[in-house]
Amino acid sequence: MAIKVVIVGGVAGGATAAARLRRFDEDAQIVLLERGEYVSFANCDLPYHIGGVIPNREALLVQTAEGMRTRYRIDVRTGHEVLRIHRREKQVEVIHRQTGEVYKEDYDYLVLSPGVEPIRPDLPGIDARGIFTLRTMEHMDSIKEFIKTSQPQRAVVVGAGFIGLEMAENLHEIGLKVDIVEMAPQVLAQLDKEMAAHVHARLRKVGVDLNLGRAVKGFQELRDGLEVELADGSVLKTDMVILAAGVRPDTRLAKECGLLIGCSGIQVDDYLQTSDPAIYALGDAIEVRDPILNRSIPIPLAGPANKQGRIVANNICGRRERYNGSVGTAIVQVFGLHVGVAGSNRRSLEEEKIDFSSVVIHPLSHAGYYPGAKPLAIKVHFTRGGRLLGAQVVGEQGVDKRIDLLATAIKVGLTVYDLQGLELAYAPPFSSAKDPVNMVGYVAGNVCNGDVDVVNWDQIQDRFVLDVREPSEYAAGHIPGAVNIPLGQLRDRLAELPDGEIVVYCRVGLRSYVATRILMQRGFRSVLNLNGGYTTYSAVMADEDS
């Protein structure tokens, strides 16, 4: 007898599960209930349609309801919202939003893919005209219509995560003056501070005003726009507001029917099965295992949701497959700067009291003698034994390639030594003979081997600091109190150095590494190389002064 599967929610996870189910079971009865008008759309691309980068609205529709009906013989019902789940009867109660009709639908298996809801804080004036969230096609259409009819000149974006930064870029692209308000002291919480500094510099360079470490207190609708009142008493005048302060998993249906809910979403096992064997859940509404920190986390990203959709379909069809968690690989474009992350950052590793080391390097995206090479900032975290724990890459070129390589290495449990041995494609327009991923492996391997010890930009206070750059570089800018002895003169001037701890730096860390090796072999017992050199240090200091 054919099974009946009811799927609640489309977009990335639910639509993928439906299509996969049909490919494996031609006889299954598949019902996909989507409360919105669109069953599958590219929600990551919504800001780019607002900014005109993707001019064709229809291009955002990954799959239409009619297309799924025709190709897969799936009973797709848009505008149908599930009100509640009756687990004992194996039924869902549904309302057709257009007609108001309420009915019940039986299932053998239920798949929950309800997604997330944008956080809309309960603040004074939150419902004023001109204040928007962005999660659906309908949200996007409302923003586009407001811009067309009201012709705003200024915008405030509340929140500096992926959506907030993408909206800031696209609103700026169509000519608006943009302010960003972020409660945290930096943009992109996934980044470490010194990596976020590069993003801050780019935003300020293009004229975006950053209000970091400042919370919104309320909104006031005026005759000629809006006022955004901040908790410190300051006020920003604007014409429109984008609320991008985060999302929360939509767990209402699961919670009301008694399924287990974790700290950050619906609880599922390794096979994406909930506490009810007949109900699976996937996508942004569930919590998944972080294989680095071995804890449950939310991952509201399209890539994991797509993979989970396939796995749920496999398991329903008897092809047992585990979901192995997520390292949160993500990338975002910020005014020409590309920012990639994967795995754990410094803050989360310290919170879990994990013993780790980090290195920062600044290689070029491809061979320097070939025109167009751009600098990269690459940071990796790793255990003393060399296992990779996290990676961050920032630059204008080649970021996607490097973060994908590092994310793969993190996911499969590779070490920094494995990075050294990766055989990667090389030609001058694309890379160097030693790719930046190889290079970060070499540098991290030196730390693991004890060939060098490193120190971060915020750990050099009250230490003797040695600058081994040339005098002209030193004169152009240096760490306060640093003593300048160029690398070429170091062997002849060892008597000028103290017997105690020495922090060595150059522009990016290469010359200072050579210097530390000289000093260690000359009997200096406590020599530390400054992570990322003066490039990293000066980026953070400039950020703090802004």
Tell me the three state secondary structure of residue 39.
coil
Spell out where 183-277 has E strands: 209-212, 216-222, 225-230, 235-238, 240-243, 247-249
In sequence order, the β-bridge partners of residue 340 are: 331, 393
For 436, 467, 469, 513, 538, the CA distances from 506, given in Å and listed in that order, are 19, 6, 5, 9, 12
CA 68 to chain centre: 31
Identify the CA nearest to 338 among candidates 378, 305, 298.
Answer: 378
Residue 285 CA to residue 262 CA, distance in Å, equals 11
**Does an H or E element contain 5, and which?**
strand 4-8
Cβ proximity of 28 and 17 under 8 Å: no
Cβ proximity of 188 and 328 under 8 Å: no
**Alpha-carbon torsion angle 429, 433, 434, 438, nearest 10:** 80
For 154, 177, 519, the CA distances from 145, given in Å and listed in that order, are 16, 18, 65
Task: Kindly report the backbone phi and psi dihedral angles of residue 32, in degrees, each rounded to the nearest multiple of 5, phi listed first.
Answer: -110, 115
From the candidates 44, 257, 263, 317, give the one annotated as an active-site residue: 44
Cβ-Cβ contacts under 8 Å for 415 (sequence gap 6 or more) = 382, 385, 386, 387, 388
Cβ proximity of 353 and 380 under 8 Å: no
263 is known as an active-site residue: no
Task: Kindly report the backbone phi and psi dihedral angles of residue 509, in degrees, each rounded to the nearest multiple of 5, phi listed first.
Answer: 120, -10
- The catalytic site residues sit at 44
